[in-house]
Amino acid sequence: MKSMKTEVPVLSRRKPADYAESAYRRLCDAILEGRLMPGTPLSRRVLAAEFGMSTVPVGEALLRLEAEGLVESRPRAGSRVRIPTASEIQGNYELREALETHSARLFAERATDADRKALVAAAEKLDAMFDELKRKPYSAARHAQAERKHMRFHMLIAGAGRCVELENAIERSRVLLFNWLFTMSAEFGELPGGWHGTLARKLVGGSPREAAEAMRVHVRYRKDEVIERLSELAGPETARMARGPQRHRNGGSRK
């Protein structure tokens, strides 16, 4: 409607510094890699000094991490890496089931032949990796890498559904669960042989409903066991941070 001058090219994408983004990345990575364990206090000032910036961008990073559920903060008394409660873990499992089953359904409906081929190939490689993992002694690095590959496998399924919103939601729920899983070390890489191969075949060959149900059993596998183990590490249900829930509760419609 207005001016229609020479369409500007898309060449502006650099970040002159973006301290906030940098701080966010460093903190997020540190939490996800387990270097910052749940409960670790996060002071804006010490982080600012450590990162060589002021407290403002650090605060922005903490705000984003809080919105994502990785950090909790009390109004004027500090932030820390979030300690999940047992019910939160259970809730995230529920969320994951809802999202992944729908993702599988979309895969069965929309995946191209290339998608399906890629999936079975990825499944075979993943199963081989888990087999190998079973033989070797436990190693945090190997375990973490396995989790990353597992994540990519599920994101491959989600990607074939052609729905970014669903992809993002799945990634978020997985991140939340696996950040917590991270704290518990070994013995959870052991899966039945060909576990992902059979799943992939059902997704590729089955109807949407069959695909969804196959994914449901996949997601629920060992669910109770994992929840129980995680709940031990989790903070007690009440009084998680001594004084009620974190601020900025809801995030949608009020009134």
45 is a contact residue toward DNA (CB under 7 A): yes
Q: Minimal distance in Å, beta carbon 56 to a copy of itself? A: 8
232 is a contact residue toward a copy of itself (CB under 8 A): no
Question: Side by side, which strands form the sheet with 41-42?
Answer: 41-42, 79-81, 71-73
Q: Minimal distance in Å, beta carbon 62 to a copy of itself? A: 11
| Tokens at 17, concatenated | 């510094």
Contact 199, 215 (CB under 8 A): yes
| Tokens at 59, concatenated | 């605060």
Q: Give bridge partners of residue 79 from the DSSP assignment.
A: 42, 73
Contact 227, 86 (CB under 8 A): yes
88 is a contact residue toward a copy of itself (CB under 8 A): yes
| Tokens at 41, concatenated | 């206090």
Q: Is 214 exposed, middle or buried (0-12, 13-18, 19+ CB in 10 A)?
A: buried
53 is a contact residue toward a copy of itself (CB under 8 A): no
Binding mask of the shown chain, residues 3 to 22, with x at each position contacting DNA by CB under 7 A:
x-xx-x---x-x-xxxxxx-
Report the partner that residue 104 touches, choosing among a copy of itself, DNA, none (CB closer than 5 to 8 A by kind): none
30 is a contact residue toward DNA (CB under 7 A): no
Whole-angstrom distance, CA of residue 10 vs CA of residue 205: 42
224 is a contact residue toward a copy of itself (CB under 8 A): no
- Nearest of 246, 234, 240, 245 to residue 92 by alpha carbon: 234
141 is a contact residue toward a copy of itself (CB under 8 A): no
46 is a contact residue toward a copy of itself (CB under 8 A): no
242 is a contact residue toward DNA (CB under 7 A): yes
74 is a contact residue toward DNA (CB under 7 A): yes
140 is a contact residue toward a copy of itself (CB under 8 A): no
Contact 85, 163 (CB under 8 A): no
Report the partner that residue 98 touches, choosing among a copy of itself, DNA, none (CB closer than 5 to 8 A by kind): a copy of itself
| DSSP run (H or E) holding 141 | helix 140-160
73 is a contact residue toward DNA (CB under 7 A): yes
Q: At what angle do helices 86-110 and 164-183 cross, to 10 degrees?
A: 140
Task: Name every residue whose Cβ is closer than 8 Å to that of residue 231 and which is 6 or more positions away in sequence.
Answer: 86, 89
Binding site for a copy of itself (CB under 8 A): 8, 10, 12-13, 15, 18, 21, 25, 28-29, 32, 60, 63-64, 67-68, 75, 87-88, 90-92, 94-95, 97-99, 101-103, 106, 148, 151, 161, 163-166, 168-169, 171-172, 174-175, 242-244, 247-248, 250-255
Binding site for DNA (CB under 7 A): 3, 5-6, 8, 12, 14, 16-21, 41-46, 48, 53-57, 59-60, 62, 73-79, 242-243, 247
